[in-house]
Amino acid sequence: MHIAVSRELRDSLTDIALLPTGELVSLSSSAEGMQLDAYDADLAVSWSRKLGAHALGLLCVDSGGTLWVVDRAGASAISRHGEIASRVEPPVFSDLEVAALAFVEDDLVFAYQHQSDAEPDLPALVRLTRNGTVRGSSRLTSSPSDV
């Protein structure tokens, strides 16, 4: 194997995603918080963006090639230049917070888990349109009879 190009990252890598444009996006964390960095094919930085402390360290790319950053209250779509293009905030459940994001067709599906400082509770799923309209939600169960 021959290494064509390499780059040392300045912070602790949390996640990476490849965009349809060929850019590689990294999400890293440091004492100052989370940061997104986009790199071209030669691993030169195309753009950077500092994120709030609530970012989860999860990157998702939807079927249209848009990058999404997940945080405890929802998700933000990031433009090709590193700006927030749109934001989706799902409903709030008492003592639950967003834990993951997936896409089903053009909708967003958020998974919730109990907050770290709350009593353990059953997780939930919520499916939303991109404008925030709830299509459906469900609290998951751990009962063997429901399998």
Taking CA atoms, 17 is separated from 36, 37, 57, 88, 129, in Å, by 11, 11, 11, 20, 23
Write down the pLDDT at residue 1: 66
**Half-sphere exposure at residue 111, Cβ-oriented, CA atoms within 13 angstroms:** 12
List helix spans (H) across 25-108. none
Max alpha carbon distance in the chain (Å)? 54
**pLDDT single digits (tens) 61-97:** 998 999 999 988 889 999 988 999 999 999 988 888 8
The Cα 110–Cα 124 span in angstroms is 8
**DSSP per-residue string spanning 19-33:** -TTS-EEEEEEETTE
Write down the pLDDT at residue 51: 84
Write down the pLDDT at residue 95: 85
Q: Residue 110: pLDDT above 90?
A: yes
pTM of the model: 0.81
- Do β-strands 107-114 and 12-18 pair in parallel, antiparallel, or remain unpaired? unpaired
- The mean predicted confidence, pLDDT, of the chain is 85
Band (pLDDT 50/70/90 cuts) for residue 59 is confident
Q: What share of the chain is helix, strand, coil (3-state, %, to 5)?
A: 0, 50, 45
Domain parsing of the chain, residue ranges: 12-146
User: Selecting from 2.130.10.10, 2.160.20.60, 2.70.98.60, 3.20.20.150, what CATH number does the domain 12-146 have?
Assistant: 2.130.10.10
Taking CA atoms, 13 is separated from 44, 59, 92, 136, in Å, by 17, 12, 29, 34
Q: If you average pLDDT over residues 30-42, what whole number do you get?
A: 86
